[in-house]
Amino acid sequence: MTTALSSPRQETASSNPPQDKAISLDSLSPNQQLLPLTAIVNSSDHLEIGGCDVVELVQQYGTPLYILDEVSLRTACQQYRDAFSKHYQGQSQVLYASKAWSCLAVCAIVGSESLGIDVVSAGEILTALRAGVSPRLIYFHGNNKSVEELSYAIESSCTIVVDNWHELKTLERLAQEGNLSPRIMLRLTPGIECHTHEYIQTGHIDSKFGFDPNEIESVFAFLAESSLNCIGIHAHIGSQIFELQPHQDIGGVMVHWFKLAGEKYSLQFSELNIGGGLGIRYVESDDPPSIEEWVKTVSAGVTAAFVTEGLALPKLLCEPGRSLVGSTCVTAYTIGGSKTVPDIRTYITVDGGMSDNPRPITYQSKYRAVVANHMSSPLSQTVTIAGKHCESGDILIKDIQLPFTNAGDILVVFGTGAYNYSMASNYNRLPKPAAVVVEGGESSLIIKRETREDLLRQDCLPERLHK
């Protein structure tokens, strides 16, 4: 028989409610769960996701292995899309912030749920296009887009979110040279701060992103005489946010510029993009709002602001990344050796680390995990999960309670769908891991595991160095 993840033994798995006939997965907000929605403990006492035994997945595909639950990802997409239909009276469009994880399969899944794609490079544009996403639903961000990238975006008919004067003037030159009128939006810094990690705050005044408020009127005046088709404005206030109030406030800040553009400069904006930023649950103490709560708050704030100013509701866009894909994926590792420092710490090593998950060493991010091949074993030791890289700071999880483990056991770390594969590296010349998507008891490879030969593919050895 199978059991829900409510055992007190491996307590980190207890955040997902019992999965029985009385509970619909559609009613759960994926960003509020530690594990993917379909996770259960099966009759072999193994962790199972998407109907697939994780131990068997590891036997088939090896480790480290990213395991993406398709049901969880589609549910998150649907909840964003349906919540806007329910709570916002104007048009809306959800865009997936693909910097969280850009690959063909993820883009194809979100695209099939009628989401667009937010991209930040020519490579992400290409990925979205190859995944079948309409260029009209691709929005191109970035604070230092090259001329080549801008030209590619124009040729692909993407909407370009302009970040600074250099980019704006470059686009105007390209538009005039090609007798074109590319669709653009303006990224503004709204001056709203939120309680998140310093490195992922992007909406305050001291930010590398967007036009500052004191230069916006000059930008509007430039656009009034330009060849560019500016359809609206964009702002983003940060990432991994649990507060609702900043997102309630953003409509009131942005409507001022929306109104000024029309009344003083005759710029007819139709779209307002309020970014993303909704957080996910990485550890038990995290308590993010649900997707619907976030959408309801944003919709109410924008509606109130525009109605008060007597303006028609804009097409409302948002750009969730982490809250769409973060909780839908786990990473499986094979445990190696251990080391006990008496009266200090026991280290358990795994066959990956900072090359497949750089967030702990970069942001001091916290994660939870279970031993997937004996889920019911009691939590009997406090250990620190160490990666295999030649860095003392390559620690995935510090001081976690786990059962006693042996070499060959399978450790599964939760919440690794966002900024894990997308920030992965070949540090120490480790090949990047494979990734699979699971659904209905079937698994499909979506990213091949790199080989040692792949690591040399771009290397060049000058003839004079041959021996």
| Residues taking part in catalysis | 390
Angle 95-181-185 from CA coordinates, rounded to 5° = 35
Tokens standing for 307? 């109605």
Tokens standing for 192? 């709203």
CA torsion through residues 56, 5, 43, 439, sign? negative
| Strand (E) or helix (H) holding 93 | strand 92-97
CA torsion through residues 192, 195, 196, 199, sign? positive
- Helical ranges in 207-327 per DSSP H: 216-224, 245-265, 291-308, 322-325
Nearest to 321 by CA among 35, 77, 26: 77
What is the rounded distance in angstroms from the CA atom of residue 119 to the CA atom of residue 128? 8
CA distances in angstroms from 109 to 104, 106, 160, 179, 327, listed in the order given: 9, 5, 23, 36, 16
- Residue 184: CA count within 13 A, CB half-sphere: 28
The residues, ordered by sequence, that sit 6+ positions from 342 with a Cβ below 8 Å of its Cβ are none
CA torsion through residues 214, 220, 226, 230, sign? positive
C-alpha 154, offset from chain centre: 25
Tokens standing for 440? 């209905």
State how beta strands 345-350 and 138-140 pair. Answer: unpaired
